[in-house]
């Protein structure tokens, strides 16, 4: 496994491997089984697997959140070595963003909804860093988990408008045995909080089971009330899967999105409804 730290190193490596089908998994480290599932999907579809580890400051609107973001580089490298990853890229901010040319991307107001509303500027930062990575690596494929479904839609717009040679691969949300969507932020949860957090997925499934017999508005209100017993609910909304517009009268192509805070830890999830 090669570990590369500079833009110059990754450019040289890329030029030496220009004819190979490269799969790319971008991460912010603090790796867990969900990341490793993305890695396994990448290895199955690619000649060479590349994983980046970079906590991107431009996608944090809260500096305290950035400071608290978990880091475990030594363990991350052990996990990636065990998973037989070919290349790990660990740049620093100044080198990665030096001479950055920002791209104009029309993301169709996706940045103003759900996570975009509670974390202003978040998706601008995602676009900035992925534009740099895509230019440097020019991968054939890039892999993203559906836990961050809104992010997937944003990145699809970036790829469609500027990197049409890249195939974006959606991977199912990875879950803990209690249903909690796997996330690096889960490392901040105590054992008791971790157990409580399993209620998020339970309520999403309760909604899915109930909404066919009741109207959407009332079922959403009841589901939100259930969540409010344990969490500070930031949003619980039924949206379409393409533009994330609110759904009020049909379940076709709909998805339920949730964000809550538990002990000030931001947790998100979503499931397909129709």
d(CA 71, CA 68): 9
d(CA 251, CA 105): 30
| pLDDT at site 72 | 95
Q: Is residue 184 left, alpha or beta, with left meaning phi > 0 and alpha meaning psi from -120 to 50?
A: alpha
DSSP 8-state code for residue 102: P
Q: What does pTM read for this prediction?
A: 0.96
| pLDDT at site 119 | 95
Over the stretch 205-225, which tens digit does the pLDDT of each residue have? 999 999 998 999 999 999 999
Q: Which CATH class is domain 184-266?
A: alpha beta
Q: Per-residue b/e over 195-226, b at no fewer than 16 CB within 10 Å?
A: ebbebbbebbeebbeebeeeebeebbebbbeb
Q: Which CATH class is domain 2-171?
A: alpha beta
Strand partners for 259: 235, 268
How high is the mean pLDDT of the chain? 97
Cβ–Cβ under 8 Å, residues 45 and 166: no
Over the stretch 59-111, which tens digit does the pLDDT of each residue have? 998 898 999 899 999 999 999 999 999 999 999 999 999 999 999 999 999 99
Over the stretch 147-188, which tens digit does the pLDDT of each residue have? 999 999 999 999 999 999 999 999 999 999 999 999 999 999
Given 32, 35, 122, 266, the catalytic residue:
35
d(CA 34, CA 135): 25
| pLDDT at site 122 | 95
Over the stretch 118-154, which tens digit does the pLDDT of each residue have? 999 999 999 999 999 999 999 999 999 999 999 999 9
Token pair in block for residue 223: 């589901």
Over the stretch 228-271, which tens digit does the pLDDT of each residue have? 999 999 999 999 999 999 999 889 999 999 999 999 999 999 99
Q: 23 pLDDT band (50/70/90 cuts)?
A: very high
266 is catalytic: no
d(CA 182, CA 159): 25
Domain ranges in the chain are 2-171, 184-266
| pLDDT at site 135 | 98
d(CA 177, CA 169): 24
DSSP 8-state code for residue 238: E
């Amino acid at each position: 496994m090669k570990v590369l730290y500079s833009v110059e190193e990754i450019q040289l490596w890329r030029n030496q491997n220009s004819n190979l089908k490269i799969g790319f998994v971008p991460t912010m480290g603090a790796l867990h089984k969900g990341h490793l599932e993305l890695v396994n999907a990448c290895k199955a579809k690619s000649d060479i697997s590349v994983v980046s580890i970079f906590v991107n400051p431009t996608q944090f609107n809260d500096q305290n959140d950035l400071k608290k973001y978990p880091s475990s580089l030594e363990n991350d490298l052990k996990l990636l070595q065990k998973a037989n990853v070919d290349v790990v890229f660990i740049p620093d901010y100044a080198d990665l963003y030096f001479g950055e040319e920002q791209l104009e991307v029309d993301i169709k107001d996706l940045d103003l909804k759900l996570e975009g509303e509670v974390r202003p500027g978040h998706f601008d930062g995602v676009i900035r860093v992925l534009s740099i990575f895509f230019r440097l690596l020019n991968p054939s494929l890039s892999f993203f988990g559906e836990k961050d479904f809104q992010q997937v839609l944003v990145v699809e717009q970036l790829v469609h408008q500027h990197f049409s040679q890249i195939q974006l691969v959606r991977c199912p949300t990875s879950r803990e045995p209690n249903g909690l969507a796997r996330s690096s932020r889960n490392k901040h949860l105590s054992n008791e909080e971790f157990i409580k957090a399993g209620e998020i997925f339970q309520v999403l499934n309760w909604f899915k089971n109930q909404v066919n017999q009741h109207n959407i508005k009332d079922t959403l209100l009841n589901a939100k009330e259930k969540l409010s017993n344990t969490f500070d609910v930031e949003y619980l909304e039924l949206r379409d899967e393409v533009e994330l517009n609110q759904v009020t009268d049909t379940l076709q192509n709909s998805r339920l999105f949730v964000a809550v805070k538990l002990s000030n830890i931001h947790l998100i999830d979503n499931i397909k409804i129709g």
